[in-house]
Structure formats: C-alpha cells, structure tokens
Structure 1
C-alpha cells in the first residue's frame, strides 16, 4: 500500500520562495508508484494543502491532517523542504516528534544547533574542527568597532547568525562600512556573527544517510563571479559550481573526513551540506545546512548525480530512512 507523504515547503523567512521551488522538485521526482505526495505550504498566514488544481485546503494543526473533498488525509511521513524557520531551526521537527509523525530531516536539537552558526562552530571546536576568528553581537549591544576589527581584521564578513541563502551577509572592507553591514544583518536576525575573511578555495560537502549509513557525496568547488558566494551567485547563475572539486587527494580526504566526523558527532540524519574554505591546505568550516536546496540546479542534487544517485532515489531514500 502506498504511503502518504506530506512535502512541507515555504516557511517564514526570506528563503520561502526558494523552499517552494525545492518542494515542487521533490513532489515531481518522488516515486509515484510508491508514494502519494501532497504539497503542504507552511506560511506565516496559513498552512494549506495545495492540490493538483492549485486549490487550497486548510491543514488541521492539532494532528497535521487535511479535510479534503475525498475525505480526511493523514500522513505516514513528512518530507521537509523548508529552508530557514520553522523547518530548519527545529520548530517543525519538535512539532512532528510530539505528533509521532516521522520526518526526513535531522531531529529538533540538531536542527536548532546547526541553524545557529555561532553555537555550531563552538560545539565542533573541541573536536578539532577549525573555524575563522570571530566576534559576536546581539541586538542592543554596544558596537565596539576597534575591538571588533582587532578580533577579525579587514576585510571581514558580517552575517546574520540564524539565516540562510546569504540573506543579511556583507563583506566589509573598511571601518566606515561596518555600521551599515551590522544593520543589514539585524534585518534578518537579532544575533550577528562577524568573521575574519579567509582567502582560499571554497568547497561544499554533502553528507546523507544512505542505506543506513552516513555517506559523503562528491565535493563541489564554489567559484563565485561576485565578491563572495552571495544570493546572486547561489541562485542567479553568477557562480561556477564544479563537481568534483579541483582539489588535491589530500585536501579531498581531509574535508571528507571532517564533514563526516561533524555529521556523526552531532548524531545527524537526513541531509547536510557543509561549507569549508581551505587555508594553507587546512579546511575551515563556515556553516552546516540541514535543509539544503533541492532543485535540479542545487548543489546537493548535483553531488548526488555525480555519485550516480538520481533525484528519485535520493528523495525516496530519505523517506525510507525516516520510516525506519
């Protein structure tokens, strides 16, 4: 008997449009001979099931069911395609755990931890996983410019601590640019991470749970046409994403081992995509995404394709692992 799969997409952050694209790709490629798939839009003003005629049916949040013209629909599993809150920060994961509904991404604690860049890097540091020199700010804190620049130098990156898709990020070259960059980051989050600029090759490493074991996918090298891997580079074709990456065997082994180590230390499941920059042959972690882009052009699906894993198999495997 076919399983009912709710594909949640949208979300409450600036990433909601990208999430809708990812969710529609999952809906298209999940094996229809094995699964009944339902597109569920999770938006600030409504939670709705969108049927094949684009008609909307409200979701009952008490049990995550839908009353439709053909009767009540309940779900065997949820495929999480929400980037940002509430799908990538632990809120939806905790909700589904309370309801006893399996879902494809990591558990709520791991999701909340990895969504918080500052906390993630702090937790991994004792395990020897390197990160750029950094400085933290919370909204309302006094901005001590000299102290910040002494800690991270110039140029530096100012980032929203809990945001994705490069929203709220600026590369700062001079002292006078810092206040504007901080204000931009605060538009996305009330916590800020300011990091030293690292000069080197940037790579993205996907790790998935595949047939019961963690599997590192082929590494992608990021070459931005812009000053850094910003929104336009990620989503408007202003970058080269080269898989497999043009790095040495030694570098590939180092970053593969570290990405897998982080995945296993954190007791992850589902997908992760971690970003690193090589400095003097050593990989420095920037962040880990636990609901990465899933469009046909996105990095993780590109990596899976290089590994010989089709989107149908990639998405189906995630559901199978969740149902275990």
Structure 2
C-alpha cells in the first residue's frame, strides 16, 4: 500500500524561494509507485494551500523563485488559513522548508500538536540548531572545537573597540537565526563592521560576531536512525567570492564542490567525528548537515553550524554526499522517509 507523504514547502522566511526549488525536485524524485504525494504550500502571507492548490502555487511561482526579487508577496495572499481538520490522512509530513517558521521548531511544534509524524529533527533540536549561539555552546560541551564569538542584542549597547580587541579583524557578522548565509557579511574594517552589524540587525534582534578563520570550507551530512551514519566529507571552494556567501551558494558556478574532499585522512575523520557529535548532542534526527572551517596550515577544525533541513535539490550538498556513498536521489529520499516512519512508531 502506498504511503501518503505530505510535502510542505514555501513559508514566510527569506528562504521561501530556496524551499520551492527543493520541494519541486523532491516531489519529482519521490517514487510514485511507493508514495501518494500531497503538496502543501505555505505562502509568504502564511496561508496554507493543500493538494491541487498547493501544486498550482508551486507551478505558478517556481519561475519567479529564480528572479532576483523572488516571489512577490501579493501573489501569495490566496487560499485560507489552515484548519487542522482539513488535513488529509497522511503517513508522514516531509517539511522541505528552510529558515524561520519552517526549520526553527515552530512548524515541528505545530505538527506535534496535531499528532502528525514528520521527517527531520524534532521541535527542540530544530529550535536549538537554528540559533547559532546555542548550537556552538552545545557542540563545544560535546568536545567540538568552535571559533571565538560575541553575541549582540539590539536592545543592549556594545563597544566596537572591545569586540575588535577580542576577535580581531576581519570579523564575520551573522544574523543568529537565518540560514543560506542570508545577511552574513565579512567586515574588514571598523566602519565595515559597524555597517554589517546594522544590516544584520534588520534580520533579527540578536546577531553573532565570529572570529574569521582563514581556511578551507568543509561540510558533512549525517543520517539518523538506530545508529547515526556519517556521509562523505565535501570541500566547498568558492569561485565568485573569497568565502561561501549567499552569492557563492546560489549563483551558477559560484563554488566548486569536491566530494569526497581531497584532504588529509586525519582531518577527514575529525570532520566526520565532529559532525556526529554535533548531530547527536543537539538531538538531531533523520538528516542534518554540519559546516566546518579547516584552518590553513594546521590541524585545527572549527565547527560553524548545523542545518537540520539542508538544501534538497539533487545537486545540493547532502544529496551529493549521499550519491558518493552509493545512494541516488530517490534512494536517499526513501531512506529519510523510512527512518522517519520507523522512529515515529517508537515514540
């Protein structure tokens, strides 16, 4: 008997368009002989479109997702507010959402209240992993090396000279709860730092200032289950910038991705070990992807963050790693669904 899989996508975050691209490829790759797919679109206005209306929303807005200005909010104000009883009977929710409202525990908590099983991490792990400061604190306790950082709150005063003294320029400035490198900047001067802080605060009330580590960028996906399985390490070599910013991530040929990474075995194993430690200490489930910086000319490997719903197009980093491990994209999705269904039955 086919499983009913509800694919939830869109949402009110700045990563709405990224979600549409991921969801489109996921739904195309899911085996139609195994699954009945129920599209559920969440518009930028927060309306839920289930089934045919969700599919139509994706079809109508997928091309707009590739435009610089993305999907206009005025085209999102259709449909009606979600009424839980309207949910069709489903076996599993597959949330293909990134950033606020979809990856930060709020959607997961809502699904918990509805008693609907879902893939990827639960409410607590999702909320913790979305907050870069909390993620680093937990990873550090688990024995994972992290870069020095300072957290700023919009409501509190701060001293730029003191920050520069502690972290040294250049300094990486990040919104504390966004993904896909949205709002991230590398400040190389005091003036640039002041401007980057101002910009980052437009994305939220807290930001993270982090010591810049000059080195090679690595990422490691971990799959959950009875025992965590680590996938091959990928090295990311930015081409359009000196570091892996938003443009490098989503611009065509913005970065070269080498899988498996051609790095010393000691660093390779350390990256995989650190990834599992971060995954398990935060309580992640099914799949997550941890990002690292390997400092040039040393054996220091620094953990940056973990993504509980990483990019899910066929050429995204986690699916690439799965392919290197012998799983094509449909098989990779099968494994995520199978693990999520099995684990939900044990709760």
TM class by smaller structure: over 0.9
Cα distance between partner residues in 1 of 2:192 and 2:257 = 29
Matched, 1:100 2:115: yes
Post-superposition offset of 1:229: 0.3
Q: Which residue of 2 aligns with 1:281?
A: 299
SS of structure 2 residue aligned to 1:285:
strand
Q: Identify, as 1 or 2, the structure richer in helix.
A: 2
Correspondence 1:1-324 to 2 at 5 A = 1-45=1-45, 46-49=47-50, 51=52, 54-55=55-56, 58=79, 61-63=82-84, 65-66=86-87, 73-209=88-224, 212-225=226-239, 226-236=241-251, 237-279=253-295, 280-324=298-342
Residues 1:76 and 1:195: Cα distance change in structure 2 (over 3 Å): same
Runs of at least 5 residues in structure 1 that lack an aligned partner in the other structure: 67-72
Post-superposition offset of 1:305: 0.8
Residues 1:52 and 1:88: Cα distance change in structure 2 (over 3 Å): closer
Cα distance between partner residues in 2 of 1:53 and 1:166 = 27
Post-superposition offset of 1:4: 1.2
Q: Identify, as 1 or 2, the structure richer in strand.
A: 1
Cα distance between partner residues in 2 of 1:2 and 1:177 = 55
Cα distance between partner residues in 2 of 1:37 and 1:257 = 35
Whether contact under 8 Å (2:129, 2:282) holds in the other structure is no
SS of structure 2 residue aligned to 1:9:
strand
Cα distance between partner residues in 2 of 1:199 and 1:55 = 45
Whether contact under 8 Å (2:175, 2:183) holds in the other structure is yes
Post-superposition CA distance 1:41-68 (Å, at most 9, x none):
11242111252895469577342635xx
SS of structure 1 residue aligned to 2:293:
strand
Whether contact under 8 Å (2:218, 2:234) holds in the other structure is yes
Q: Note the aligned Cα RMSD (angstroms).
A: 1.7
Cα distance between partner residues in 2 of 1:41 and 1:64 = 17
Post-superposition offset of 1:282: 2.1
Whether contact under 8 Å (1:42, 1:48) holds in the other structure is yes
Whether contact under 8 Å (1:121, 1:287) holds in the other structure is yes
Cα distance between partner residues in 1 of 2:99 and 2:199 = 17
Runs of at least 5 residues in structure 2 that lack an aligned partner in the other structure: 58-77, 343-347
SS of structure 2 residue aligned to 1:157:
strand
Residues 1:171 and 1:55: Cα distance change in structure 2 (over 3 Å): closer
Whether contact under 8 Å (1:24, 1:39) holds in the other structure is no
Post-superposition offset of 1:115: 0.3
Post-superposition offset of 1:37: 0.6
Cα distance between partner residues in 2 of 1:105 and 1:58 = 27
Cα distance between partner residues in 2 of 1:53 and 1:110 = 28
Across the two proteins, how many residue pairs are aligned to each other?
Answer: 317
Residues 1:177 and 1:315: Cα distance change in structure 2 (over 3 Å): same
Q: Which residue of 2 aligns with 1:70?
A: none
Post-superposition CA distance 1:7-27 (Å, at most 9, x none):
011121111100111011110
Residues 1:115 and 1:64: Cα distance change in structure 2 (over 3 Å): farther
Cα distance between partner residues in 1 of 2:161 and 2:106 = 37
Please report the TM-score for the alignment, with normalisation by the length of structure 1: 0.93
SS of structure 1 residue aligned to 2:50:
strand
Cα distance between partner residues in 2 of 1:141 and 1:108 = 29
Cα distance between partner residues in 2 of 1:154 and 1:53 = 47
Q: Which residue of 1 aligns with 2:63?
A: none
Post-superposition offset of 1:2: 1.2
